[in-house]
A and B are shown apart, each in its own frame.
Chain A
Amino acid sequence: MPGTITWARVKSPWVLHFNSGACNGCDIEIVALLTPKYDVERFGIKLEPSPRHADVLLVTGCVTQQCAERLKRVYDQMPQPKFVVAIGACACSGGVFEGNYNVVGGVDKVIPVTAYIPGCPPRPEALIDGVVKLLNALNPPKPKKQPKQAKVPKEEAKPAAEPQVVVAAPEAKPVIEEAKQDAKK
C-alpha cells in the first residue's frame, strides 16, 4: 500500500504556487509551464489552488515582511509529506532585494526548502528539470537495470541510479527521509 501511495504521489504531484514577493517573472514562467508549449500536465503535474490538497509548494520571490507569516501559514496547512521548491534567485537567497527594509530574505529563512531552482527567472525547462529531480529523490529509480549493465558494460546508466536533488537544505532532509520510510513501509 505505501508503494502505491508513493507511485501515485510521484506520478501526479499537485503543486501550489505562492508568490511571496516576486516580480511576476517567475510566476509567469510557472503559468507558461501549464500552456501548450511545455504542458506539464502530461506528467500529471497539476496546479492546485488550495494548500490542503497540495504536495509541492512552489514559492517565488523574496519573502517580504507582510508575506512571511502568510507563507508559514500556507505551509502549515499542507498535509505531510510536503515539499517546498524555491524558484528563482530571490526565493533562493533574496536576490537583488536582499537587505531592503521590507524584505526578510530567501524562502529558507521562513520554511524548510527541499529544492532550489536558481535563475532570474529560471527557464521553463529548468523548472521541469528541478521538479523531475525532486520526484526522482522521492522514488529513486530501482536497481533493476544492473543485470543489463553487466551484459552491455559500455552503457553509462550509473548517474541516473543516484537520486539527485538540486540542492537540499539541512532542514529539508528529514522530510525526504520520512518519505522514504513511508515508501519502505
Chain B
Amino acid sequence: MLKSDVDIVKVIESKFGDKVQIQLGLLGTAAVNTNGLHREILKAMVDADEKTGITAITGVDLGANLGVIYHVHTAKGFFGLRAEVPKEKPRIQTITDIIPGAAFHELEVTDFFGVVFEGNELKGHFLLSEYWPEGIYPLRKNVNPAEVKLNPAPPEEKMHEDRKIVKFIIGPQHPALLEPEKFAVTVDGEVVTKVEPRIGYVHRGIEKSAESRSYIQDIYLVERVCGICNPCHAYGFVGAVEKILKTDVPPRAKYLRVISLELNRLHSHLLTLGHAGLEIGYETLFQYFWRDREPIMDLIELTSGNRVYASLMTIGGVRRDLKDTDVPKIKTTLAELRKKLPFYRKVYTEEPSIRARMQNEGVLSRADAIKLCVVGPVARGSGYDIDVRKDDPYEAYGEIPFKEIVYDSGDTWARQNVRMDELEQSINIIEYALEHMPKGPFRVDVSRYVPAGEAINRVEAPRGELFYYVKGNGTASPERVKIRTPTYANIPAFLKTAIGENIADVPPNFVSLDPCFSCTDR
C-alpha cells in the first residue's frame, strides 16, 4: 500500500507522461485532464492503491461540451479526473467494470445531464419524477424548468410476475419507512432474491435552485438538504467557497465548528441507534435512546440558538461565539451522557434479542465494501478504515486526538457498534475542544462576490463522507453546486447484503445503514 498521495501522482506521470495534464492542489490533491484516457488512469490507480474508489461523479455544463468529473479517493489522496463529451453526442464509456460502486453515480449524471455511459446496465429515471419527459435534462443551462411539459401519466407497475416468485413493492407510504421511497423486493418464499430501488420522491432540485441564489442564501438552502445532519451540509458548502476565496478561518472558529459538527454526530447516532431498536421490536431501547437525545438537542439550542437548524456556519467563520458561561452546562450534560454509555454498550453486546437479530445478518465483506465505495460507519463496520477526519483532516480535527473506530465482522451488529463507540469519541472531542479553545475572533469578513474557480470539500457527516463541489463564475451566485451525500454511496451495500436474507431481517439491515433519503434525493 502506498503511504502518500504524491506516489499516485508519480504513477500517473510515469505511465501517461505528456498525454495528460496534471494540476496539483486543485480539486483535492490534483486535477487531471484525462483526454479520453479516464479508464486507463483509473485502472492504474486501482492497481497502485487498493483503497481507490469513486466518491462522486459531477456533471458540468461547459457550453458546447458537457464536462464529467470523476472524484476519486485513494488511501491518502483525492483526485478529480476530467473528461469532456460533446453535447450533440454525449457518450462516454462506463467505469463500472473497474469500480462497481460507480453505477448509481453514473445514473445520476445520465438523469441530470443526459450523458450516456456505455456499458452501464442501469436505466430509467432515478432521481427525476416519472412524469419528467425524456430528452430534457434539468441541470443543463439552456433548460428552463418552468417551460417543461410534464408527461400526463406514468406506466403502471406490475405487482406480481408469477405465482412462485413474488415481487413486493414497499413504499412510498409504508409503515416501516419514515420517508417516501420505493423498494421493489423480489422474494422466493421468505428469501430475498433481488432489490430494486427507486428514489426521487423527495427530490427538490436543490442543485439547480442553488445556481440562481446568492452564496449567502445558498448556505441556508443547502442546510435544508437534510434536517438531521444540517451543520455538515452548511460546512460542506461554506468550506468549498472558502477554498475558492482562499480565506483562512480564525482558529477559534475552527474549534467552534468542530463542536457544532460533533454535537450533530451525537444526536444523529443516538437517533439511529434508537431507531434500530424500534425495527427489531425493542421499543424500550428506542425510548431510552431518544430520552437521552433530548439533552443534546438542548445543547445544540444553547450553542446555536436553534433546536434543529443550527445555522452556525457562514463564509469566513461562524455566526455566534460560545459564551464562557455556557461551557459548564455543556460539560455536565456530556458527563451525564457518558455515564449512561456503559449501560447501552451492555445492552448492545449482551442482550440476546439484539445478538439474535443483528449478528451475522447483512454481512458486507471488506473487499466488497471497497469495491462498492461505501462510506462512514458502514465501511468502518466492515474493517474498511476510512474516516475523512483522519484521512484528510479539516478544521481543527488535525489537532484533536481521537480514535477511529473499526469493527471487522461487517454485519448489522458491527455497524451499530461503530456508532455506539463513536458516541464516546465525540464526547472526548467536544471536551478536548472546550479545554483547548483558542481566544480571538470567530469570523472574518469576506467578499460577497466569489471569483471564478472551483473547489471541493469533504466532511465526515454522521452517515459517512459528505462531498461538495462548488464552481464559481465571478458573480454573486455559483455556476454549479454538486452534493454527494453518504446514503447515496451506501445504497449499493444494501442491495448487496439484502440478497439471501429473510424478509424479516431486511428492516434491521436497512436501518443499520442509517439511511437518509432527503439527503439522497436532494
A residues near B (Cβ < 8 Å) are 17-29, 31-32, 35-37, 49-51, 61-62, 64-67, 70, 74, 95-97, 99-103, 120-121, 123
Contacts and interface: CB of A to CB of B under 8 A. Distances in A.
A103 B293 CA distance: 32
A27 B275 CA distance: 13
Nearest to A38: B294
Contacts, number: 129
Contact of A32 (B132, B146, B206, B294): B294
Interface stretch (B196-204, B248-256, B390-398, B425-433): B196-204
A37 B291 contact: yes
B180 interface: yes
B128 A102 contact: yes
Interface stretch (B24-32, B224-232, B340-348, B371-379): B224-232
B175 interface: yes
Nearest to B275: A31
B228 A28 contact: yes
B205 A66 contact: no
A142 B309 CA distance: 40
B518 A35 contact: no
Contacts of A29: 308
B172 A96 contact: no
B131, B145, B209, B287 interface centre (most CB from chain A within 10 Å): B209
A26 B308 CA distance: 9
A27 B146 CA distance: 29
Contacts of A25: 224, 227-228, 230, 308-309
Contacts of B170: none
Contacts of A61: 202
Contact of A28 (B148, B205, B227): B227
B173 interface: yes
B130 interface: yes
B286 to A, nearest CB: 8
Contact of A23 (B131, B226, B297): B226
Contacts of B221: 96
B318 interface: no
Given A35-B291, A36-B294, A70-B180, 14 more contacts: A23-B202, A24-B227, A27-B179, A28-B271, A32-B297, A36-B290, A49-B175, A51-B173, A61-B202, A66-B201, A70-B172, A95-B224, A96-B220, A120-B224
B130, B148, B286, B290 interface centre (most CB from chain A within 10 Å): B290
A100 B286 CA distance: 36
B150 interface: yes
B208 interface: yes
A19 B150 contact: no
Given A101-B138, A102-B204, A65 B175 contact: no
